[in-house]
Structure 1
């Protein structure tokens, strides 16, 4: 680890000006990943993309998105029976499916519905760019913050289908117990701040306005252009 890197999360961070500022602050904890050819940064749309943009720029790493859709149990949508993700990633939770005796046809219907939405978002954001090759890579999954961590957990599960060497979760702010939970699923979890009481992700941003589709497209295009030049 290079001098200046930090292992410990900061328990009570000051608020971030906005997501871009949060990304720069987060990147300061990640210098050990800088300049490595095996590192890919993936932002979770939409809020995670501005954060990921700054992380990727600081590390000199390519930026892309990882769109994930949780497969919710019929009539219990918050309970995940699986997830699908960018690049054809698909994972099921057989324990939930078997325990609730969910018919195969119901799983197929939910998966098809969520796949259509995922593909719509992929077309919108990716603009015909091919999904990056992740096998053998260190993949850094970035969001603007976590509460329960359910979406990030789904992203990790789906991403594992792409055979990365390591999966690193990086977020500006999250509850300590959520980060602890994710450490049992990811290879590394970097949280810039783990405040108590937590109060929600938006409480730690001065500007937590919604990220629009055009901003996501613009940041991805700018990152691609920067890499090409």
Structure 2
């Protein structure tokens, strides 16, 4: 019997851990940490730092695994993602059965919350056909919360709806129909550039909640160039970048 625990760790700041997350980290037999390779190994290091900050000795065994790159040759986006998840599930299983052949508690540190634009749960479901597996999820602070906190703004207007979407959706479909406030995640291509610049206010944050947090806000037409320049410099400096932004219509 294996128990897989997906532990939301917030945005990389150990202060974002809930008490439930701390207890879960200490209760594991094995913690698996992905490494995305050169230039992005800071992400693995941050997970190690979080473990070092809250896990009591002797603690669980911690193992890194190399996260494979997604194959970009297949035209179908969904097919590429599904194939990628299959490969990751195989790597998980190999590491799990090597370290805990007779079962045990396996933990994964998930950025933000495991339920919000993250596929760790989908990958975990793939393992249920291989063994008796119990899945437990520990919720975490999301980058959306860190974004609104960084700018000290509410997520919604009074009685207003909020649309959560991705950069790909913005590029392909434009501004969501009838949306008033839009939060955009997973946008490596700065898709706000494809929207009409007038009449939109943007709140943008990179490394939300972390020591190197960067925040810019203002009318999109006035600050978009600044965001692009600051984003490029930050990526070059750190080798990786995570960012999120909120857009809201205003009267021109």
TM-score range, shorter chain: 0.3 to 0.5
The structure with the greater share of residues assigned to strand is 2
Indicate the structure (1 or 2) with the bigger Cα radius of gyration.
Answer: 2
Report the TM-score, using the length of structure 2 for normalisation.
0.38
Q: 1 or 2 for the larger relative contact order (CA 8 Å, sep ≥6)? A: 1
- Name the TM-score, length of structure 1 as normaliser: 0.41
